[in-house]
Amino acid sequence: MTTVRVRAARALVAVDKRRRTLAAELEHARRDLDDERDRGLLLELTAGVCRWRAELDAVIEQVSSRPLAAIDLETLATLRLALYQLRHLDRIPDHAAVHGAVEAAKALAGDRAGGFVNGVLRGYLRSQATITLPQAPGPEATRRQQLMYLSVTCSHPKWLVARWLDRYGYEDTAAWCAFNNQPPEITVRVLEPGADAATWLAARGVSAVSGSFVPGMARLAPGAWAAMAEEIRAGLAIQDEGSALVAHATGAQPDDTVLDVCAAPGGKSVLLWNDMGQRGVLISSDLRPGRLHLLRQTLRAGGVPPKVVALDGRDALPFGPVFDRVLVDAPCSGLGTLRRDPDIKWSVTLEDLPALAETQRRILEQAAAVVRPGGTLVYATCSSEPDENEQVVSAFLAAHSDFAPSPWTGPGADEDGTLRTRPDRHGLDAFFATRLVRRTPA
């Protein structure tokens, strides 16, 4: 157990230092953990701390003799892990959680750190009844009170919930935060085209619920994937319904010529190929070697002919205007996927958005050049923020009179024909996609 806590603390420190994402850090940390229970605990502890970090820090500030800024990162990570166990898990006795945290702190930062952690945690256990956090605001609450509750008690960055509060109001923002703080369901599709995932799983003794928006997909309870036999997992692909909707919104048809820009990990490319009736030409591209390797693996598993090209979407593409459909699933902040990737809460800042939007505009500009007249260009992100979504599209349309909106009328469509999935409306991560058509010259 101490080994798992030490690895969890190191992973959290790496995330805090913005070395790697939590997913990448966990992939490294779990490599030689043979016990599936240890692997599961490592994920639960680290993801739980990322979800509840602001709440945990508010507690530490009330029981520690040192301010947060004066606590070294390894010791702070150990405290957060222990408090997450004490406050949000009930299967580990308090004394075991404290003992494990003290041993982990000693291993990471020495005996003095262990003594400090012991004092803080025992102080918490003595005074936990007096710990105070901002309460859910009533109807007469001020905006400041709403923000304090959403940012501290609901553990979200204040800058982000302030934006949501202004756009959606308090009730929808609170529902969004609650969604993000839940362990995510796993949504799957069967690799065999046309198979219904819920039926396929039921035939193998696995309980699942049919997806709400995409036919053939199924939702599994948190933890069900890890408990599933390997041979069953081998027949499935994990993909959010919002992500699948983006692929279907591209409108690929049999015998189309399609380009998927920024295609890794490849799930959307597989769905595009299936929508094409597995006829036509599909080219999938990405840039970094690791993502290209993952893309090829996904396409191979999905039965897609591997036409993979290494491209930097920010530069001119080596094609003429020949594609019937071009999908730009742009690199983005990921702020729409905080339930699945809770470390993004603390790794992305407001100041990051302008640079992301500039990259997105460049990629969209280059992709537009290879769409044939009458063809469709789809721009998509998994961000909640207009800076990366509507504003990018508006700037593009202002500069390109040869493109016009082409409304999406399927699931998740807003009144303006844009695909926008939202946790508070759909129970899905926040995905955005807009369809544009290139006008045919008169």
Residue 379: Cβ within 10 Å count: 28
Catalytic residue flag (residue 382) = yes
**Dist. CA 275–CA 411, nearest whole Å:** 16
**Dist. CA 124–CA 236, nearest whole Å:** 44
The three-class DSSP label of residue 186 is strand
Cβ proximity of 323 and 297 under 8 Å: no
**Dist. CA 91–CA 110, nearest whole Å:** 28
β-sheet bridge partners, residue 403 = 438
DSSP 277-304: TT-EEEEEEESSHHHHHHHHHHHHHTT-
Round the CA-based radius of gyration of the chain to a whole number and report it: 23
Cβ proximity of 372 and 340 under 8 Å: no
Angle between helices 241-249 and 267-275 (to 10 degrees): 50
Q: Outline where 89-207 has alpha helix (H).
A: 94-109, 111-127, 143-148, 158-168, 170-180, 197-202
Q: Burial level of 291, CB count in 10 A (0-12/13-18/19+)?
A: middle
β-sheet bridge partners, residue 437 = 376, 404
Q: Which one from 177, 262, 332, 382 is the annotated catalytic residue?
A: 382
Catalytic residues: 382
